[in-house]
Amino acid sequence: MKSSQAPMSIQELKVMAATIRCDIIEMITTANAGHPGGSLSAADIVTALYFRVMQIDPKNPAWPDRDRFILSKGHACPVWYAALAERGFFDKSHLATLRKLNSILQGHPDMRKTPGIDMTTGSLGHGLSVGVGMALSGKLRKKLYDVWVVIGDGETQEGSIWEAAMAASKWKLDNLTAIVDRNRLQNDACVVDVMPIEPLADKWIAFGWKVVEIDGHNMEEVVQSLEASRADKGAPTMIIAHTVKGKGVSYMENVVEWHGKAPCKEEAECALEEIRRCACEI
């Protein structure tokens, strides 16, 4: 890692993930809008990337040789903003401005407004293709950076995801890793009821990807799979991270309604209390 901060231990990552979960709740509560469920389900993955795995420099967000991260499920951007702020890309005071007028933190990620955002996202199905372009450029110019893309499980219903899957396989983009946040819920209902996506692993294998399945909340497994993917050569890697939507806040967990709803003040207090209590037990 290029920055002064040493890669975190598993223990430290778990604590940081709890901090980021608290940031997410506070941001969305203050904004009174946003997407808590999918932000919380991706929190461990994003924490592992930003505090252990990725080659980045918070003081030089445009460093040409940095690893790239794309949150293709852009609505979960509170998790990205929290990680960037905690990592030092910008001051934490900005987090309270989420979705407000003149804020650097838009409702969906805007690379021109927020330091550290490598790609503007929000319209589902774009991010993996963008990652393909970044990875192709890395290969062409013999750069050593890796490209990391988090997609939603509902997002795999977008046809363009599979166009990108084909392309990454054609060009053997082993510098590209996709992580699907398999939290099993989407905006309207359960993924399986809206439009089933299984057998998901078999589909990615059939498209020529290396596929691993992990518990997306087990920090050891998250870190191990990401680091293995960086080392792996010859094909792109898909990490199917089995997660719980709303993870860490029991009343939000596995509840469809918390896809895109802000908690009220009392609910937020209760959520923060639970996350902090669990963090003490780490």
Partner 1 sequence: MKSNLPPPYRYLRPETVSLLRSKELFTRAVQQPTRGAYAEAVLELGEKNPLVVVLDADVSKSVGTNKFAARFPERAFNFGIAEQNMMAAAAGMATTGLVPYVTTYAVFASMRALDQVRNSIHYPRLNVKIAASHSGITPGPDGVTHQGQEDLSIMRAIAYSTVIAPADPATTKLAVWAAAEWAGPVYLSFTRDPVPVLFDADYPFEIGKAVTLREGKDAAIIAIRDLVAQALVAAEALAARGLDVRVIDCHTLKPLDVDTILAVAGETGAIVTAENNIRFGGLGSAVAELLAEHHPIPMRIIGVGNTFTESGPYLDLIEKYGLSANHIVKAVEEVVARKSSARRQK
Name the site residues for partner 1 (rule: CB under 8 A): 64, 68, 110-112, 118-120, 122-123, 125-127, 129-138, 140-141, 143, 159-160, 163-164, 166-167, 171
Kindly tell me which of 59 and 170 has the beta carbon lying closer to partner 1: 170
Provide, rounded to whole angstroms, the least separation between the CB of residue 113 and partner 1: 10
Cβ proximity to partner 1: between 21 and 66 the closer is: 66
What is the distance between the alpha carbons of residues 151 and 180, in angstroms, rounded to a whole number?
A: 5
In angstroms, what is the minimal distance from the CB of 89 to partner 1? Answer: 16
Cα separation, 2 vs 248, in Å, equals 31
Kindly report the backbone phi and psi dihedral angles of residue 10, in degrees, each rounded to the nearest multiple of 5, phi listed first: -55, -45
User: Residue 141 Cβ, how far from partner 1 at the closest point, in Å?
Assistant: 8
Q: Rounded to the nearest whole angstrom, what is the least distance from the CB of residue 252 to partner 1 in the complex?
A: 28
Closer residue to partner 1 (CB): 20 or 164: 164
Phi–psi pair at 111, nearest 5 degrees? -65, -20
- Tell me the torsion sign for CA atoms 267, 269, 272, 277: negative
Closer CB to partner 1, 43 or 132, in the complex = 132
Contact in structure between 73 and 82 (CB atoms under 8 Å): no
Which tokens is 97 given?
A: 């401005």
Judged by beta carbon, residue 99 or residue 126, the one nearer partner 1 is: 126
Comparing CB distances to partner 1, the nearer of 41 and 72 is 72
Least Å distance, CB 166 to partner 1, is 7
| Least distance (Å) between residue 118 CB and partner 1 | 7
